[in-house]
Amino acid sequence: MVSYKRLNPEDVQFSNAVLSGEPAPVPEEVTVREPEECERPLLPWRPSCSITKGLLVLGCMLLLLCGVWLLGTMFWLHRPSNEKPHRPPQPAPPRTLDSQGQTGVDHNATASDFKPCTSIPEAWRFDCYPERGVVVTRELCEARNCCFIPAAPLPPSGRNGVPWCFYSPEFPSYSLVSINDTSLGQKGRLVREVKTYYPGDILTLELEIRHETETRLRVRITDPSNSRFEVPITVPNATKKAESPAYTVELSKEPFGLLVKRTSTGAVLLNTSVAPLFYADQFLQLSSSLPSRFIYGLGEHRSSFLHDVHWNTLTMWARDVPPMELTNLYGAHPFYLAMEEGGIAHGFFLLNSNAMDVALQPAPAITWRTIGGVLDFYVFLGPDPGSVIEQYLEVIGHPAMPVYWALGYHLCRWGYGTSNATWDVVKSMRSYRIPQDAQWNDIDYMERFLDFTFDPASFATLPDLVRDLHAHDQRYVMILDPGISSMQTAGSYWPYDEGLRRDVFIDDFQGNTLIGKVWPGLTAYPDFSDHVTHEWWYDNLKRFHEKVPFDGLWIDMNEPSNFLDGSTEGCPSNNLENPPYTPGILGGLLRAKTLCATAQHKTSLHYNMHSLYGLMEAKASASALKRLVGKRAFVISRSTFPSQGMYSGHWLGDNRSQWKDLYTSIAGILTFNLLGIPLVGADICGFSEEPQEELCVRWTQLGAFYPFTRNHNTIDMQPQDPTAFSPDARTAIKQALLLRYSLFPLLYTLFHHAHVHGHTVARPLMFEFPKDTRTYGIDKQFLWGKSLLVTPVLDPGVDYVVGYFPEGLWYDYYTGDSVWSKGEELRLKAPLDKINLHLREGTVIPTQRPNITLWVSSGQPLHLVSALSADGSASGDLFWDDGETIDTYETTQYAYIVFNIVQNVMTSQVLQSHLEATYITVESASFYGVKEEPSRVLVNSQDAAFTYRTNQQVLTVADLGLNLSQNFTISWM
């Protein structure tokens, strides 16, 4: 019927004897036939070239022609198929190869297993025609050899629905024709006999399965004949195969499928046999079932924390656009965390930077569609959500330990207008004694928006302002955009002239400097993939730092953004600019408001490098700052990619002064903590639109618990710094910021664990309570670490808030009042000057007397707050160093203290000592949940004064004067 040889399972010989249990014969090489005198057919049931030739010879014999056609059709309809259908994951493939190479046969599989199109459940219909802007007709669909069934009703505008055109059970895919054991796992060869409807099919692929660790599996599907672009970030290089992995791998041969199961439960984590595999030059597609509908990550998008799997397509291609739903935003993060039965979790990471769609459907299932690179993916076995993130960060890199002042309050706006106006706000903050650690400026500080300049008229006093900030233990952060003006007179603008001389700019497809347009007008774009550019960037920063001694960098517009589509010269018309498939990016074109896809970096084409631009600029900026100031770098970036946390933090972009934006910011900070960028926050009070006083108070209360806290607004809007509001509002804002500063020891310790262990800082409730499914969708509350529950007000005009409390004992942070929850929602009082905080039982947190800068606060005495569990136990810890030296953990220049409470005795144990800890004393300690008033309290075996509040069951011991660097005990009886 067709002009290619279909391989039956019995026809394939494998080179390792384990597969058959017999000595291995010399393997017969299986070759893929190339097209001969005519093109290989696209659809398997079309007549082959030899039949066509015969029909042409007998073309005049119409009756015979019809007879041949009818006979062929009847034969095709009744022939048994040797392909296994792509179906939901429960049935096993007819024949599989497990991770040990053992084969098994499903003797029950028969031709009757192949169901017609109508029997495929809607939830399991995988889209065969995902192109946007096309009205898919029956003719278009069937031309792709797919099923066509119109589904009703139509989805809401802008959303996807049940695909009308979907893959049939017999749609051809790859076959696994050989498999061999390797030192890390297995290698195999995949062959496609039938071309797809996308050009450039790669008909032979190499499959590599690496059992890298007990909880990490890596799978690579590549072109063995030609090298393809791969993401240039450093990942671990495993050297030996995991001995007792928490997963098993099974392979189906025809069609090829990969099945990954959790060994302990048998849960299917990955099953690629649910839909055909595509691997063309510019279209790679992999589908899999999901074990549940609970899936998180997949940034950057504005959505709820828990993704909707109801026909939801998430596009990844970095884009400058204010946060909005159903749109690709500033960064690209092809990683998800998924929950399984019983609170177990796993993760999946596709190491690919090309434009892609990630389609979720209610089966539940997921489809990855990318237009370049390779399929290189990891599966992380957890088994709990926190462990999944730790394992993910072992691959992409742990976040940097922030400089201490990064965790203070930052103030910025676009539109101060002058350095003196900026300075006035700083002075006003000081006069009201409102905490502030850093003052920022937006692009209005520059001369004509030129990087590495400041306006000599309106910002003439900027150097003096920065010196004044330093004199008050405060810091200065400035914005930089990557676009370098190309319009200045030759010899008058060193950054551009020197950039041309060193050849640091991205070129267009003809090899000339690509020119776009942003704030300064026509601009060139540095190629941060080249080390020469890093040196040029450092030199520019050094020259400017000598004039304005800035402390941190805010790198914006680095998607990269362009006010044009492509360049001033346009872009060529070819398959890179207009690929066969374009994911659902805003604007519909890869070059929309960015550079041409054909633009040339030193490493590769912009087609491949686009979403990496922010990461590469952050890497260059962090490196330069460390060299300039000799301390930890502070960089905040808009565009991000996996491993970004090693170099920068992130803010959630140009949000609006709306209550909805207040709410969605929580999902944003939780998602980026999953993605390895814990230093994250949203613009407090909102960036655009006029600020509202009540909203700004509530936003500051929530923002005080963002890991990164900054108030920022746009030009021509009313001021929204804390001093701009009424006395009551100003007081409430000040209280919220002082509260944050008092919790600095806890926050700093959480960042230490993020840096060293890959923990989250702002943490979803489901991470600590994974067996409580009611926590899976919560994104109106969150935790700091495991201990502090934050329940903000997110609605206007209310003096209460409803929060969910997982089962257990919780204490009001302010009073020590306890509540036992069986896993329920509680209504909490929330006047305008209060954000609700609760301590989880069994925790000890260090706090500090706050001041208006963290430099001063961090030297104040400690107050320990302990929340006892029902059995009277609790634990906590504290990491302490000088706050700014690079790599203090790696060089053991730090102190680390653990606190434990058992049977009415608190012990403080110094596990790592350092000079910095000797400067700090423990002034007082409170114990929540002491059921009876003690008759006696001992501190280091000496009697001590104490107070006890009977109603709250709170014991407080003051005036301790204990040195943090020495072990101590506090006991009561």
Average pLDDT, the chain: 90
Summarised one tens digit per residue, pLDDT across range 265-315 is 999 999 999 999 999 999 999 999 999 999 999 999 999 999 999 999 999
Is the CB of residue 125 less than 8 Å from the CB of residue 163? Answer: yes
- Return the C-alpha torsion angle 907, 911, 915, 920, nearest 10: -30
**Residue 853, number of CB atoms within 10 A of its CB:** 21
For the chain, the maximum distance between any two Cα atoms, rounded to a whole number of angstroms, is 115
Closest CA to 174 of 91, 281, 39, 286: 286
- Which of 496, 494, 517, 493 minimizes the C-alpha distance to 505? 496
Tokens found for residue 35:
């097209």
State the average pLDDT over residues 624-636: 98
Q: What is the pLDDT of residue 115?
A: 59
What phi and psi, each to the nearest 5 degrees, are found at residue 406?
-60, -25
User: What pLDDT does 846 receive?
Assistant: 98
Give CA–CA dist 132/583, Å, rounded.
8
How many secondary structure helices (H) and strands (E) does the chain include?
Answer: 17, 52
Query: Residue 29 pLDDT more than 80?
Result: no
In this predicted structure, the answer to whether residue 212 has a pLDDT above a threshold of 90 is yes
Average pLDDT over residues 791-812: 98
| Confidence band for 1, pLDDT divided at 50, 70 and 90 | very low
| Identity of residue 440 | W
Q: Which of 72-86, 174-188, 473-487, 919-933 has the lowest mean pLDDT?
A: 72-86
Q: Most confidently modeled of 35-49, 101-115, 316-330?
A: 316-330
Residue 723, helix vs strand vs coil: helix
761-784 residue pLDDT tens: 999 999 999 999 999 999 999 999
The reply to whether 559 belongs to the active site is yes
**CA pair distance 844, 836, nearest whole angstrom:** 18
Q: Helices marked H in 652-803 — which ranges?
A: 659-674, 693-703, 727-742, 744-757, 765-768
8-state DSSP, 307: P
Q: Position of tokens 């050297």?
A: 239
pLDDT digits over 399-431, tens only?
999 999 999 999 999 999 999 999 999 999 999
- Own/partner pairs for 451-457, CB < 8 Å, 24+ apart? 451/480, 451/481, 451/483, 451/484, 451/485, 451/495, 451/520, 451/540, 452/480, 452/494, 452/495, 452/540, 452/541, 452/543, 452/544, 453/544, 454/419, 454/547, 454/548
pTM: 0.89
Residue 556 annotated as catalytic = yes
Q: How many CB atoms lie within 10 A of CB 50?
A: 12
Half-sphere exposure of 13 (CA within 13 A, CB side): 11
pLDDT the model gives residue 72 = 43
Answer whether residue 731 shows pLDDT above 60.
Answer: yes
Whole-angstrom Cα distance, residue 692 to residue 720?
8
Q: Does an H or E element contain 392, and which?
A: helix 385-396
DSSP strands (E only) in 785-842: 788-791, 800-805, 808-812, 818-821, 824-829, 836-840
Nearby residues of 105 by Cβ (< 8 Å), 6 or more positions away: 94, 95
Coil, helix or strand for 699? Answer: helix
Amino acid identity, position 308: D
Alpha-carbon span 526 to 542, nearest angstrom: 17
Catalytic residue chosen out of the listed positions 556, 768, 841, 916:
556
**What is the model's pLDDT at position 651?**
98
Task: Please pick, among 320, 376, 559, 661, the residue that the annotation labels catalytic.
Answer: 559
User: Cα 932 vs. chain centroid, distance in angstroms?
Assistant: 47
Taking only the tens place, the pLDDT of each residue in 710-720 is 999 999 999 99
Query: Average pLDDT, stretch 848-860?
Result: 97
CA neighbours closer than 13 Å in the CB half-sphere of residue 840: 20
In angstroms, the CA 252 to CA 85 distance is: 11
Look up residue 865 and give its two tokens.
Answer: 């707050």
Q: What is the pLDDT of residues 347-403, one digit of tens each?
A: 999 999 999 999 999 999 999 999 999 999 999 999 999 999 999 999 999 999 999
Distance of alpha carbon 405 from alpha carbon 857, whole angstroms? 11
Cβ-Cβ contacts under 8 Å for 310 (sequence gap 6 or more): 360, 361, 362
User: pLDDT confidence of 637, banded at 50, 70, 90?
Assistant: very high
Q: Which of 816, 102, 684, 763 is nearest to 413 (CA)?
A: 684
CA atoms within 13 A on the CB side of 776: 21
Can you tell me the distance from the alpha carbon of 751 to that of 678, in angstroms, rounded to the nearest whole number?
A: 8
* pLDDT band per the 50, 70, 90 thresholds, residue 157: low
What average pLDDT does this structure show over 507-527? 98
Q: What percent of the chain has pLDDT over 70?
A: 88
Of 251, 213, 209, which Cα lies nearest the Cα of 96?
251
- List, in order, residues 6 or more apart from 160 with CB less than 8 Å away: 311, 312, 313, 359
pLDDT average, residue stretch 810-818: 98
High-pLDDT (> 90) share of the chain, %: 87
Query: Residue 664 has what pLDDT?
Result: 98
The model's confidence at residue 156, banded by pLDDT at 50, 70 and 90, is low
- Tell me the two tokens of residue 377: 């993916």
Q: Which two tokens stand for residue 578?
A: 């207009």
DSSP character at residue 572 = -
